[in-house]
Structures are given as C-alpha cells and as structure tokens.
Chain A
Amino acid sequence: MFLKTFVIAVIYFLLFSSANIFAQEIKERTETIIKESFGKDVSFTFRKYTLPSNIKRKIENTVKQKFFKDLLYVYKISVKDTIVAFGFLDNVIGKSMPITFFVLLDVEGNIISTNIIKYREPYGGAVSNENWNEQFTGKNSNSDFTVGKSVNGISGATLSVNSVTKGIRKITILCEEIKDGI
C-alpha cells in the first residue's frame, strides 16, 4: 500500500510540479544576476506589473511585436536605500517556444545588461551567449535596434535574434514610460 501511494505521489509530482521547478529556476537565476551585478549591499523588491492597455498598444505598434501577456515582472533594485536600477523579466516567442529574458536598466533607462534566463528551443540557443547580449549594453528607448545593422545577427538563430531584440526594445520603451511610477 505504501509503495502504491509513493508511486502515485511521484507521478503526481512529475506531472504537476515541473512548472514549479522551472519557476523556481527562473526566479533564482534572475535574482542571482541582480546580486552579481550590484554586490552584497543590494536589496530588491519585485511585483507583477499589469500593462496599461494604452501603453501596451503603443509599444506593440512601435516595435511590431506583441507582449507575451498583459503582465510582466518588474524589479526595483536599491543599494543602501538608493534606487540604482530596474529589472524587467518577460517572455518572447522564438520559433515555437517562449524565451524568458531579463533586462537590467539604470534609473535613466539605459540598459545595464540583458540575459536569457531560459531557452527552450532545439535551435538558436546561441542568443544566450554573453558576447551577443553585451551589444545591448548602453542602449535605450531612442537607440536603433535594427538586426544586421545595430544589432549583430547569429547564423542559425534568425528567428530567436529578431524576437529577443524586439523584446528588449519593448522593455526599453516600457521602462521610459513607467520608470517614474515604479
């Protein structure tokens, strides 16, 4: 009887808790990036941010890419009680799977770093490379994000590159729009 119960529990665990494990991974990776970026004195809070429909529509029309959902995750990051940065955790769709990415911006809205938190496709995984992500540092809502011109492509990762680049650009505009109210 105990064995039967145990097997049922394990199956239940495998079926229904995998999302929790992934969610835990995403949270831990994101918060590790924040701690590594700002050192031991950092403190942060996060909240779900529901996109106001007018801002959402405006950004989607400008960038030509829809938001993954009506909400995303916003971190407010402080060092010794002074706000130093904002972090945005969001998804874009690659060829068929969501790509989870995290953008850190300073209080002026300039990108400090971008990171791919979770990649789920069999092709195009090179968008996770640090070298590729470094090219976004310093960009803001007024910067050019044209792939092949201001943003280097990756051979074999065309869809992912286009998708992530648009996703990052959306965040720079969103940050500019809402940073005074975060």
Chain B
Amino acid sequence: MRYGFATLTVLVAMFILPNIGVSQDFDFFEPHTTLGGYGELHYNYSKTEDAKSKKTLDFHRFIIFFGYAWTEKWSFKSELELEHNFVEGGQGELELEQAYVNYHHADYLGFQAGVVLVSAGLINEYHEPPIFFGVERPFYNKVIIPTTWFGNGAALYGNAGGFDYKLVVMEGLNSDKFSPSSGIRSGRQKGFKADAENLLYNGRVDYLGIPGLKIGGSYIYNNAKGDSTTNQIGLAEFHAQYQKNGLYVAFEVGNISYDSGDIKASRGFYFNLAYDFGSLFQVQSKIIPFFRYADINTAAETKSGGDSEKKFHHTQWMVGLSFLPVDQVVFKVDYAQKTVELGSVTTDLFNLGVGYMF
C-alpha cells in the first residue's frame, strides 16, 4: 500500500508539477455551454403566366444551436430546426439537423459522430441567411445538392497547407422517393430510423490558400435502396467563391448520375455576381445588390428521352439586394423570372425576407 502511494505520488508529480506555473498563466479554456441560432421570415409571390398569383408569408426556418464543450478537444454541437412555424398533418417539420460529439485532435484532424452534414457545395454546411444571397436558397441547392442534407453517421475533417477536407460516412438515400421533378431530394432519410443497409460515402476538398478565394469539389456515392428499388447514384460537384474588396462571386456546378429508373442524370449550375456598395463609404452596413443566373434540369438525361428531358429543365435569372445593418442581420429582396423549356412557360417570382444569426 505504502509502495502504491509512493508510486502514485511520483507519477502525479512527474505529470503535473512541471506544468503548474504554465497552467495558472495560460489556462484559457473552461467547460462551457453555447447557445446560438438563426432564422428567416419570407414573403413569397409567384405568378405563372395567366394563372392566379400565389402569395405566402412564412417563417421558413427557426433554428436553435446548442453546444457544450467538456475540454478543448471534446465537445457536443447540435441544431434543432422548426420549419414553417408549427407541425401538423404532415405540414411543417421539426428536425434534429445536427447533433454530434466532436473530437478536435488538431487543426489537421478532427472527428464527428452523430447527426452530421453532408459536405458538398457552398451552402449545405454554411446556410445561415446572412451568408447567402436571395431570400430562398438557390434552387440548385434544393435539387442538385438538396440542402440541408444531414443524417446519422460520422465524419473526419481537417485543414493543412491551405487545404480543407472532410470525409463523411452516413445513412444512404431512399431510392423509392427519387423523382424527375426533385431528383434525389425526397430520398433523404433525415435520420428517421434510417435504413443503414447501404451507407453513403462523401468526400470534399477545398483550397483556401489565396485570400478571398474558396475553390473545391466533392463527390458523393450511394447505392441507394428503397422497399422496391435500388439505384446507384454518384454526385460530383465543383464550387468556387471569391470575396474581396467588396466583390462577391460564386459558382456551383453539379451532376447526379443514376444507374436505374427513368432518370439517367440530373445536373445544373448557377453563378452569383454581387458588390457591396457599403464598402465605398464609411459605413458599417453592407448594401449588396446581386445578379444570379441558373440553369437546372433534374431530368437532364432520361431513358424515355424527348419532352421528359425538357419538362423539368428551367433557366432563371434573378436580381436582388441584401442589406445588412450588422453582419448578423439581413433584409433581402429579389425578383426572378424562371422559364421552363417545355412550352417556354414563364413564372415571375418576387420575394422579401428578413434573417438573423447569432
């Protein structure tokens, strides 16, 4: 017993004593809880040629971020989302969008397990309203990269030498719910007792070594499975964003390939061009008009061919304005015209929005 006590004393002294002075002077970290969130209210107006116009007021998203850090390396992070004010009769959604234990070993390597995000494109992991242009997220980020895309799984991440990477393994998609109008979007299981038969594999690399520039790409593979179908999909995408001296340029392009069903490929792209006029004056506010052009086709290639490849193909141009009185609050307005290739049907869209993050 005496021997054991002596050993313990020596070991503790070896480990602890040399660092006590340093610890007292440089002990920056304390376990803590973090609360945050974001949200957005939208007014949407749409009118398709001679049809009656549609107007809605919708508190589209209300998100609470909750996190706790036990140590510098071990923490928990979560986002709970309520969509469309409340949930009733299949309308509205209450989602656990993120909930993972995070281990941050070093800048070059970290690990997450729980409800994690797919790492693809510019919006899926960075979707707070003050960060993107337009009241609604770009349509590309609904049907090509279906944001917010999350699920039960695990991820490795890190950055080194200007490169940033993430590797994700998580629940797959439900191939029964793929459709020509929305591609893979409805196939997301969202962590609801998710079928783990065929996992989804995702990898992304970005280069951030040039100030203002982010450029990268990702790939997602899943042998998607439903009750009655299987469908092997591959999503390849490229993205770039440049923000410098008040100029904002963004570009995303992606392609989804399918190995069964009528759709053989979904694809699309968009680019944004914007300039912060607030940067010309001695004001803290940002006043950012922008222009967007998008070309999206969720049934770009089909086995049946013909009109089926034109029915869900649309082009869209949009002009809008983001006003940020402070960086975490945004007021938005945009006007867009969308033209569907089949029949050249045109829809006018007008949106107003207010969003926040903290």
Contacts and interface: CB of A to CB of B under 8 A. Distances in A.
Interface in B41-79: 65, 67, 69, 71-73, 75, 77
B69 A96 contact: yes
Interface residues of B, number: 64
Contact of A152 (B27, B243, B286): B243
A131 B125 CA distance: 24
A2 B6 CA distance: 10
Interface stretch (B9-17, B170-178, B185-193): B9-17
B36 A146 contact: no
B211 A135 contact: yes
A149 B210 contact: no
A12 interface: yes
Interface of B is mostly: mixed
Contacts, number: 169
Contacts of B210: 131
Most buried by B among A4, A20, A27: A20
Contact of A97 (B16, B69, B241): B69
B260 interface: no
Contacts of B164: 125-126, 156
B19 A24 contact: yes
A93 to B, nearest CB: 8
B7 A9 contact: yes
A97 B75 contact: yes
Given A95-B36, A119-B107, A126-B159, A23 B22 contact: yes
Interface of A: 1-2, 4-6, 8-10, 12-13, 16-24, 26-27, 46, 48, 68, 73, 89, 91, 95-98, 100, 118-123, 125-126, 128-129, 131-132, 135, 144, 146-149, 152-156, 158, 162
